[in-house]
Amino acid sequence: MKTIVVISGKGGTGKTVVTGSLAALAKNKVMVDCDVDAADLHLLLHPRIIERHEFRSGHTAAIDGDLCKKCGRCLAVCRFDAIKPDFSVESFSCEGCGLCSLVCPHGAIHMQENVAGEWFVSDTSYGPFVHAKLGIAEENSGKLVAKIRQVAKELGEKNRADYVIVDGPPGIGCPVIASLSGVDCALIVTEPTLSGIHDAQRVIDVAGHFHIPVKLVVNKHDLNHGMTSRIEAFCREQNIPVIGKIAFDKTVVASMVEGKTIVEHVSGAIKEELCKIWEGLKI
Ligand code: SF4
Ligand code: SF4
């Protein structure tokens, strides 16, 4: 079983256009949406949730009003102003450091584990799909990514899948590193703009650091031929195969708005290019 991750140096490059098409083209696979901060692959895959689990991460202080003697020590030591004058905890401000529970002379504060989000195993017409939703203002998205990747791996092994296909988060932060670790290939989707080139270079560096083979697709390549040529020249220098160039097409946007994968609902050159990308990606 091989794992392929689709990533981009930044959001809005059309990564999900490509991932959604791979869901339709690849047979015998498990799909995973690791963009847990802003998950959107479910809008194309229309999952039927069959398992729902809490994701627990971090702690928040909780004050027992019956035990609290209102001495004010906790309020004085909290550097995050998370304890309000009425000795209740503002959970969004609490960093979970636990200092207040140490200084409370009456044992009125305990640290409780946060429910930071949910993760799901779903059935789709494209096969099994593992996805998640991080709670508002919650952290530790890298830990949630690692969790759902592990679930997808186990599901893939159980189903004897050929591929696990991961829709990775944008950027180069912790959840991206968690998405990249141990994969067999990273497909980078970029666009022909200065920031597109810059952000692609950053994520190529991150993948290179982990010795992960990289392939690249230029989305909307015809909007700036000069920039596309610069990307191709850079990839030649770095020995990175450019396995596809997708033209700008309003039908792609319309298809996404309708929640449909491109290869199933757009015909012609775009569909052919996406099929070519899958052929170039197979390992
Ligand atoms: S330190 Fe304990 S007893 Fe004192 S105000 Fe805080 S919670 Fe109440
Ligand atoms: S756990 Fe830390 S951040 Fe949270 S209320 Fe207590 S002292 Fe403040």
For residue 117, the CA-to-ligand 1 centroid distance in Å is: 30
Q: Tokens in use for 56?
A: 């627990």
Q: Tokens in use for 165?
A: 């296909």
In the prediction, which pLDDT does 255 show? 83
The overall average pLDDT reported for the chain is 91
Answer yes or no: is pLDDT of 218 > 90: yes
Look at strands 185-190 and 2-8 and give their pairing: parallel
In the prediction, which pLDDT does 137 show? 67
In the prediction, which pLDDT does 67 show? 97
Answer yes or no: is pLDDT of 228 > 90: yes
For residue 208, the CA-to-ligand 1 centroid distance in Å is: 51
Closest C-alpha among 248, 197, 226, 207 to residue 14: 248
61 lines ligand 2 (CB under 6 A): yes
104 lines ligand 2 (CB under 6 A): no
Helical segments of the chain, H only = 15-25, 42-45, 73-77, 99-103, 141-159, 174-180, 194-209, 225-238, 250-257, 262-265, 269-281
- The answer to whether the Cα torsion of 140, 141, 147, 150 is positive or negative is negative
**The model's pTM:** 0.87
Cα–Cα distance between 181 and 248 in angstroms, integer? 32
Task: Identify the residue with better confidence: 256 or 154.
Answer: 154
Domains of the chain, first to last: 2-46+125-281 (3.40.50.300), 57-115 (3.30.70.20)
In the prediction, which pLDDT does 139 show? 67
Closest C-alpha among 85, 108, 112, 81 to residue 96: 112
Answer yes or no: is pLDDT of 157 > 70: yes
40 lines ligand 2 (CB under 6 A): no
For residue 63, the CA-to-ligand 1 centroid distance in Å is: 8
DSSP conformational letter for 210: T
Confidence of residue 252 (pLDDT cuts 50, 70, 90): confident
In the prediction, which pLDDT does 141 show? 78
89 lines ligand 2 (CB under 6 A): yes
Confidence of residue 282 (pLDDT cuts 50, 70, 90): confident
Report pLDDT digits (tens) over 131-149. Answer: 999 887 676 678 899 999 9
Please check whether residue 44 is in contact with residue 20, taking contact to mean a CB–CB distance below 8 angstroms.
yes
Closest C-alpha among 189, 133, 142, 185 to residue 164: 185
Residue 122 backbone phi and psi in degrees, to 5: -130, 160
For residue 104, the CA-to-ligand 1 centroid distance in Å is: 5
Report pLDDT digits (tens) over 49-85. Answer: 999 999 998 899 999 999 999 999 999 999 999 999 9
99 lines ligand 2 (CB under 6 A): yes
For residue 106, the CA-to-ligand 1 centroid distance in Å is: 7
63 lines ligand 2 (CB under 6 A): no
* CA nearest ligand 2 atom 4, residue: 94
